[in-house]
Amino acid sequence: MCVKAGIDLILMPGDETEAIDAVEKAVKNGDINEELINNSVKKILSVKNKLGLFENKFTSFEDSYNKIHTPEALMLSQQIADESVTLVKDEQNLLPLKNISQGKFALVIISEGGEADNTSYLLNKSTDYLPEIEVNPPDYKDYDLVIISVFAKVRFGTGKISISEENVRRIRNIISQNKNTVAVSFGNPYLIREFTDVSSYICLYGDSDVSINAALKAITGKIPFRGKLPVSLNDEYKYGWSIIK
């Protein structure tokens, strides 16, 4: 249980009443020390008091945005994204890219839809790093490298951590045409389970601007790959796994 592991706040539980009842039951059974709950409550109340939320419980969206969206916050966000780019697999030593000015590259964008993603930012930003890159070409045989970017999130309560069969078949078809293929997952690290024969696999843990920036910088050698898996993907790629280079 996450509370037993030490978190202070359960965000968006599937059923609030069930979550509360489960914590209460665990305390009564002795599975969770009541002092742990008390300490969490004290920390939460202390932060609220520090932020003045007891005196002013409401704020405007504009004020919140201006306080959060600062140059310092953006720099920190980019730093976190840069340090979290995780190279899970690189069998043919494709990364970082070499001879970028002379290479022929293709970019494939796959989005599961259902919610807003950031594919347009990737489209606009990719040419800053790979000026001659071609997007979603009809075939992939003649490219030095194919980058498959997958925008898909793990959705709570769906029981699904994969992508559609149609997109799985599409990715496998691309890999069969060109072994020099890099799959980049924006938001769902588990996708490699569906195409284990991909030569290289990179994990980002979201599809924000900073995550896309970090992916492009790492692929082109502007920053090193330094991230480590925060979860186990299968028996081969387990929690803490990484290729640092």
Residue 194's pLDDT is what?
93
Would you say residue 156 has pLDDT above 80? Answer: no
Interval 64-91: pLDDT, tens: 788 888 999 999 999 999 999 999 999 9
Would you say residue 168 has pLDDT above 70? Answer: yes
Would you say residue 157 has pLDDT above 70? Answer: no
Interval 175-197: pLDDT, tens: 999 999 999 999 899 999 999 99
Would you say residue 154 has pLDDT above 70? Answer: no
Alpha helices by DSSP H, the chain:
2-5, 16-29, 34-50, 61-68, 71-84, 119-129, 165-177, 209-219
Pick the residue with more confidence: 113 or 144? 144
Distance CA 2, CA 19 (A): 11
Interval 2-55: pLDDT, tens: 787 788 888 888 788 998 898 899 899 998 999 999 999 999 999 999 988 888
Pick the residue with more confidence: 153 or 222? 222
Averaged over 158-182, what is the pLDDT? 87
Would you say residue 113 has pLDDT above 70? Answer: no
Averaged over 88-105, what is the pLDDT? 93
In order, the DSSP letters of 70-127 are -HHHHHHHHHHHHHH-EEEEETT---S---TTT--EEEEEEE--SS---HHHHHHHHH
Residue 42 corresponds to which tokens in the numbers above? 């004290």
Residue 115's pLDDT is what?
57
Please give the share of the chain, as a percent, with pLDDT higher than 90: 69
Q: Output the average pLDDT for the chain.
A: 90
Residue boundaries of the structural domains of the chain: 2-50, 76-219
169: pLDDT confidence band, cut at 50, 70 and 90?
Answer: very high
Distance CA 245, CA 241 (A): 13
Residue 155's pLDDT is what?
56
Residue 5's pLDDT is what?
77
Radius of gyration of the chain from its Cα atoms, rounded to whole angstroms: 22
Residue 10's pLDDT is what?
87
Please give the share of the chain, as a percent, with pLDDT higher than 70: 95
Q: What is the per-residue burial (b if ≥16 Cβ within 10 Å, else e) of 145-171?
A: bbbbbbbbbeeeeeeeeebeeebbeeb
CATH architecture of 76-219: 3-Layer(aba) Sandwich (3.40)
Residue 11's pLDDT is what?
84
